[in-house]
Amino acid sequence: MIADRNPHVQEFLNRELMAEGYRTEVAKDGREVLRMTNSDKPPELLILDLDMPYVSGLTVLEDLQKRKSALPVVVHTFLTEHEKHPVVQMVAGFWEKRGDNIDGLKATVAQVLRECYPKRFLPERGKSAQERARC
Which CATH topology does 2-133 take?
Answer: Rossmann fold (3.40.50)
The pLDDT of residue 44 is 92
The pLDDT of residue 108 is 86
The pLDDT of residue 16 is 94
Q: Put the strands of the sheet holding 2-3 in their side by side order.
A: 26-27, 2-3, 46-48, 73-77, 93-96
The pLDDT of residue 15 is 95
The pLDDT of residue 14 is 95
- Cα(49)–Cα(114) distance, rounded to whole angstroms? 22
| pTM, entire model | 0.81
What is the torsional sign of CA 28, 114, 117, 68? negative
The pLDDT of residue 100 is 64
CA angle 122–124–128, rounded 5-degree value:
130
The pLDDT of residue 124 is 46
The pLDDT of residue 36 is 94
pLDDT by position in tens, the chain (length 135): 999 999 999 999 999 999 999 999 999 999 999 999 988 898 999 999 988 999 998 899 988 888 767 788 888 877 666 666 677 667 656 666 666 678 888 988 998 898 888 877 654 444 444 554 556
CA angle 31–24–52, rounded 5-degree value:
30
- Cα(19)–Cα(22) distance, rounded to whole angstroms? 7
The pLDDT of residue 129 is 47
The pLDDT of residue 8 is 93
Q: How many CB atoms lie within 10 A of CB 117?
A: 14
